[in-house]
Amino acid sequence: MTDTVEKVATCPVAPHGWPNPLLPEYEQLPEGRPLTQVEMPSGSKAWLVAQHEQIQQLLADDRFSVEPHPTFPIRFPAPQELLDMIARDAKNLLVTMDAPRHTRIRGMALPDFTIRAAKKLGPRVQELIDVYLDRMQEQGSPVDLVQALALPLPAQVICELAGIPEAERDIFTKNAAIMVGTRHSYTMDEKLAANDELMKYFATLVTEKQDNPTDDMLGNFITRATKSEEFDHHGLTLMTKMLLLAGYEFIVNRIALGTQALLDHPEQLAALREDPEGLMPKTVDEILRYFSLVDEIIARVALADVEIDGVTIKEGEGILLLKGLADRDPQQYSSPDTFDIHRDARDHLAFGYGIHQCLGQHVARLMLELCLKSLITRYPNLHMVESSEPIELIDGLPPIHKLTVGW
């Protein structure tokens, strides 16, 4: 065992760009991407992990915690008031719960997020897609695919899952769009105001579903959680926000980025048109792998000394799992920087791994498959159109703000 490894002087703290979103700090990683130690803004140490196999191993290890800890690896200098707020809210969010409570709470939501539940939702998702494609047809070529389809569709699907009444859906769709919009489109004050309005609405929605239970994903979760007495009202409101918003930006971006990738690779698009049933599942996995966010870092803190590949991660030290880089790991994928819908990329880390793997992954996959299939079937001549408005990136990360297409 050894603790002597080459250190990267600076902890990665900011995005660098796209489509090759490598932070300058990542370029300092030693060849082969061994565990590499950095110093956090707090002064504590953390380990960068960029190998696909190592990340899977560590995410399956219950000796690492997601809960607040004095040495938890926080990449950004943060005021104590913010850290205190995060610690208070952590007990009410799945993403910051350890087992066994995490297991109990996830179990309350899981029945409505199974593959079977997603398939049951399929016909309604297709109806919504057809509505937006009809509107695109009426508007005429060209259109901004983000505004016409990628942004509104996931919001409507989430509203279906949550049982949000038609008359109230604008509250969610308007404010959710602001929260994932680019910094050039909305100010931070506007984003904070949108968050406040959503929290007020979710608080009312929780009360309504407690008083009048509904048979939908959110209603079922609130009924189970209320009976368990695991949450107070504020906790249920925070969980509602997490359940409804956690995957929204993710699928918006993958619909747009996936469409662009296919249009940028016409020979692969032609192959997909020839065999949509056989190639669509692989295409979706490749989109998820290829556009796995490089700066979306999974953080954990060690609860005990853990040895991995001859290096000891000591109790109290943090790990930063660079899952985007791992999805471009040459030890895992041949030609990892090449977009290839023929490869088998089912083991990608876009949805995470282990007990915290994304709850909504089957719904996200369903939306992406149906969107792409509908687009390439309905528009055999779909193509990119040059626009005077360049693609904007949400805070510098891969999410697309505008994608002009014609047919």
Place of tokens 């994304």: 358
In the predicted model, what is the mean pLDDT of residues 237-243?
95
**For 7, which DSSP code?**
B
In the predicted model, what is the mean pLDDT of residues 298-324?
93
Name 96's Cβ contacts closer than 8 Å, sequence gap at least 6.
66, 67, 68, 86, 89, 90
- pLDDT of 396: 39
| Mean model confidence pLDDT for the chain | 87
- What angle (nearest 5°) sits at the alpha carbon of residue 257, between those of residues 255 and 260? 105
* Cβ–Cβ under 8 Å, residues 376 and 382: yes
In the predicted model, what is the mean pLDDT of residues 74-79?
74
- pLDDT of 161: 93
* Kind and range of the H or E run holding 318: strand 318-322
How much is the pTM? Answer: 0.90
User: Which one, of 106, 51, 52, 42, lies nearest residue 76 by Cα?
Assistant: 42
> What are residue 36's DSSP bridge partners?
48
Name the residue with higher pLDDT: 37 or 281: 281
User: Which one, of 145, 155, 160, 146, lies nearest residue 175 by Cα?
Assistant: 155
Q: Is the pLDDT of residue 7 over 70?
A: no
Sign of dihedral through CA atoms 38, 44, 49, 53? Answer: positive
- pLDDT of 268: 98
CATH 3.30.43.20 for the 1-61+63-95+293-326 domain, yes or no: yes
Q: pLDDT, tens digit, for every residue of 331-390?
A: 999 999 899 999 999 999 999 999 999 999 999 999 999 999 999 999 999 999 876 665
Among the four given CATH numbers 1.10.630.10, 3.90.550.10, 3.40.50.1000, 1.20.120.160, the one describing domain 99-290+353-406: 1.10.630.10
Question: Cα–Cα distance between 390 and 36 in angstroms, integer?
Answer: 37
Question: Cα–Cα distance between 144 and 148 in angstroms, integer?
Answer: 6
- Nearest-10 Cα torsion for 384, 387, 390, 391: -30
Strand arrangement, sheet containing 383-384: 143-144, 404-406, 383-384
- Tokens representing residue 122 in the block: 């399929």
Q: Where are the domains of the chain?
A: 1-61+63-95+293-326, 99-290+353-406
